């Protein structure tokens, strides 16, 4: 029902992820394609049919005709890139396999940290809420290699751990 009503007032270009209002709702609305406004988390938000909605949710609903079953993952990690080819409906565990590296990360690799007590690099990976210890290494490259190997083994997304 929301989809049909939304299609009456807004259209979406699925190749660009941009929107255009079919009906001017007030004098402030400008003609042409727009993306919406970014919130503090980097997601695009719009106001459609008297409700706030994330841009990626709106694109998904308009394109697929239903609300997502799980979570919408931006495959390339850009939260404002709402092209349909960049969106996928995945369970939370799968969504966590495509996260960027935290800004506080000092090793350059997710799941690799310096163990001060043993003066070695420690590698670990969390799968299904269980942390798996991958070993301690004197060389950072060995720790990173162990983590990368585990990511492949457990089916993590290729973009997992990207910087931005």
pLDDT (tens digit, 9 = 90+) per residue, 43-83? 888 888 778 888 888 889 888 888 889 999 888 888 888 89
Residue-wise pLDDT tens digits, 81-116: 889 998 999 888 777 777 777 777 778 788 898 988
- Supply the DSSP symbol for 86: G
Torsion of CA 116, 122, 127, 130, to 10 degrees: -50
Comparing 42 with 162, which gets the higher pLDDT?
42
> Class assignment of domain 100-153?
alpha beta
CA 139 from chain centre, in angstroms, equals: 31
Its sign, for the CA torsion 149, 91, 36, 85, is positive
Domain 2-90: assigned CATH number: 3.90.75.20
For the chain, domain boundaries: 2-90, 100-153
Rounded alpha-carbon distances, angstroms, from residue 150 to 55, 122, 131, 143, 158: 34, 13, 12, 11, 12
């Amino acid at each position: 029902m929301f989809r049909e009503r939304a299609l009456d007032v807004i259209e979406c270009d699925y190749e660009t992820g941009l929107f255009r209002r079919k009906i001017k709702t007030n004098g402030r609305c400008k003609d042409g394609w727009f993306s919406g406004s970014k919130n503090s988390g980097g997601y695009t938000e719009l106001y459609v049919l008297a409700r706030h909605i994330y841009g990626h949710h709106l694109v998904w609903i308009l394109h697929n005709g239903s609300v997502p079953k799980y979570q919408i993952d931006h495959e390339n990690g850009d939260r404002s890139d709402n092209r349909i080819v960049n969106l996928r409906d995945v369970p939370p565990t799968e969504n966590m396999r495509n996260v960027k590296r935290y800004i506080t990360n000092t090793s350059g690799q997710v799941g690799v940290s310096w163990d001060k007590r043993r003066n070695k690099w420690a590698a670990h990976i969390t799968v299904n809420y269980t942390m798996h210890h991958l070993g301690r290494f004197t060389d950072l490259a060995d720790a990173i290699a162990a983590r990368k190997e585990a990511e492949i083994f457990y089916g993590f997304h290729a973009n997992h751990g990207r910087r931005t």
